[in-house]
């Protein structure tokens, strides 16, 4: 079953592009990543799903219901964490969370305590006095306190230290195991890779691809940089799967895609001084997808 179904969703800001013909589905129970650089249209898509903004054309459904006409009903089961959180400054954390809970017809007191404990959030403080990271925690607790069936996160990790990020991811995984579907937007590939089953890649307002993380990994390049003891010709590496072969003195760099063993054998044939193997960053993955598109 699809929890989110997006069909040809387009949003224009006057003549400026927001998103164009975005279509993808998120299945029940999966953690779905939504990645792209800043300004690609991630937030626009998410805000449209939450009917904070209205689409120019196209449609989308959550839990099988239209996002506009059934908005209030859908939102009973959605937890949302915006990328920037600024909650009613002159309130205490607990008062804000209680206010948030008052919108859902269930008792969330116990859950608030639980979440606050996991995230190490002081409930008695004023929101005014909190650091950015702690405000983010308020946002996380606020988004999860009613045990939503769908959790939508818009760049949730900014401002959280690595330790908290880990706790937060554990929390999300736990919610996911309990049955929650998660839509997770980010511009950091590694966090998406770690958590998500599938991803949609968006660039310039269009979906470039929707793939399983495992497929994406198989298909992506690895960056190799080899420093040789003696200068050798770069033809040595001119084999299948190698791209963008470059030589700078005794350093040879290239991108490789394919069976990793074959390239390792090639490297073993020569004397090397040093080697770097890197995962491509997001930009490079995009480039990869653009090359394929053209």
Residues 6+ apart with CB under 8 A from 33: 184, 185, 186, 192, 193, 195, 196, 198, 199, 200, 213
In whole angstroms, how close is the CB of 76 to other proteins at the nearest point?
Answer: 4
Query: Considering beta carbons, is residue 86 or 290 the nearer one to other proteins?
Result: 86
Residues 6+ apart with CB under 8 A from 292: none
Exposed/middle/buried for 43, CB within 10 Å: 0-12, 13-18, 19+? buried
In whole angstroms, how close is the CB of 188 to other proteins at the nearest point?
Answer: 19
The CB density around residue 33, as the number of other CB atoms within 10 Å, is 25
Interface with other proteins: number of residues (CB under 8 A): 29
Site string for other proteins, 62-101 (x = CB under 8 A): ---------xxxxxx-x-x-xxxxxxxx---------xx-
Query: Considering beta carbons, is residue 51 or 186 the nearer one to other proteins?
Result: 51
Task: Please tell me the distance from the alpha carbon of residue 184 to that of residue 155, in angstroms, as a whole number.
Answer: 7
Range list of H helices, the chain: 42-49, 71-75, 93-101, 109-118, 132-144, 162-177, 189-195, 213-219, 260-268, 282-293
In whole angstroms, how close is the CB of 77 to other proteins at the nearest point?
Answer: 9
Site for other proteins in 139-178 (CB under 8 A): 142
In whole angstroms, how close is the CB of 50 to other proteins at the nearest point?
Answer: 5
Among 9, 50, 150, 196, indicate the residue that binds other proteins (CB under 8 A).
50
Query: Considering beta carbons, is residue 145 or 263 the nearer one to other proteins?
Result: 145
Q: Which residues bind other proteins (CB under 8 A)?
A: 43, 47, 50-54, 71-76, 78, 80, 82-89, 99-100, 102-104, 142
């Amino acid at each position: 079953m699809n929890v989110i179904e997006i069909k040809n969703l387009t949003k224009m800001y006057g003549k400026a592009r927001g998103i164009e013909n975005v279509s993808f589905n998120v299945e029940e129970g999966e953690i779905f990543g939504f990645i792209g650089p800043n300004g690609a249209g991630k937030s626009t898509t998410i805000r449209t799903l939450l009917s904070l903004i209205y689409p120019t054309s196209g449609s989308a459904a959550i839990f099988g219901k239209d996002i506009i006409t059934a908005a209030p009903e859908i939102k009973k089961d959605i937890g949302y964490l915006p990328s920037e959180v600024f909650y009613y400054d002159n309130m205490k954390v607990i008062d804000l969370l209680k206010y948030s809970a008052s919108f859902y017809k269930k008792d969330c007191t116990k859950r608030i305590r639980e979440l606050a404990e996991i995230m190490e959030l002081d409930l008695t403080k004023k929101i005014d006095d909190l650091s950015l990271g702690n405000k983010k925690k308020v946002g996380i607790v606020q988004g999860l306190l009613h045990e939503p069936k769908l959790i939508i996160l818009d760049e949730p990790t900014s401002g959280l230290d690595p330790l908290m990020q880990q706790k937060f991811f554990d929390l999300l995984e736990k919610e996911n195991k309990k049955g929650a579907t998660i839509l997770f937007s980010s511009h950091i590939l590694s966090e998406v890779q770690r958590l998500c089953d599938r991803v949609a890649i968006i660039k310039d307002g269009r979906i470039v691809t929707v793939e399983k993380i495992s497929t994406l990994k198989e298909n992506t390049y690895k960056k190799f940089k080899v420093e040789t003891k003696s200068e050798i010709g770069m033809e040595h590496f001119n084999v299948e799967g190698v791209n963008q072969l470059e030589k700078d003195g005794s350093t040879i760099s290239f991108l490789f895609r394919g069976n990793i063993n074959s390239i390792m054998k090639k490297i073993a044939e020569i004397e090397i001084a040093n080697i770097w193997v890197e995962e491509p960053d997001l930009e490079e993955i995009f480039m990869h997808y653009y090359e394929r598109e053209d």
